[in-house]
Amino acid sequence: MTDRRKKLTVYLHPDDDIQDAKAMEVIESVPQRTRGDFFRASIVGGSALYQLDKRLPYLVSMLFDGRMTADQLVGIIQQTTGWQPSTASIKEVIAACGGNTPHAPLPTSETTEVEGGGKARDNFKRILNKD
């Protein structure tokens, strides 16, 4: 059995770089006993971004100010890769992820017909059939 582990050493420069200083704040907020797991997850996460587009890890790190929101991250990914999250269907997202889902497949519209419907459903059907 070969040991294929790899030890990495990096230096952050909090006095010279605001992103490094903010990263140090986050690192120091992680309990010391779980920092190794945090560092590993950070490296794997950065690698995943790199695989999507080589510029993404650099862009995210340059724009990191300690207040980055999920919307900003999605915006960076959208602008860099051209992915349109507001127009992607769930099938496109699953396909883009290689089809790997931890859950059972979602039912299609053919299998999710609801019996009855009520007045709102009837009005909606009437509007759709006006063309």
pLDDT single digits (tens) 6-53: 999 999 999 999 999 999 999 999 999 999 999 999 999 999 999 999
Which of 8-12, 62-66, 99-103, 111-115 comes out lowest in average pLDDT?
A: 111-115
Is the pLDDT score of 116 beyond 70? Answer: no
Q: Is 8 left (phi over 0), alpha (psi -120 to 50) or beta?
A: beta
pLDDT single digits (tens) 78-102: 889 888 766 666 677 777 777 655 5
The two structure tokens encoding residue 57: 């890890």
- Determine contact, residues 76/62, Cβ cutoff 8 Å: no
pLDDT of residue 96: 76
Distance (Å, whole) CA 111 – CA 124 = 20
Q: Is the pTM of this model over 0.75?
A: no
Residues in the chain: 131
Confidence grade of residue 60 (pLDDT, cut at 50, 70, 90): very high
CA–CA distances in Å: residue 79 to residues 43, 85, 93, 102:
23, 11, 17, 28
pLDDT of residue 45: 95
Residue predicted with more confidence, 129 or 113 = 129
Distance (Å, whole) CA 60 – CA 48 = 13
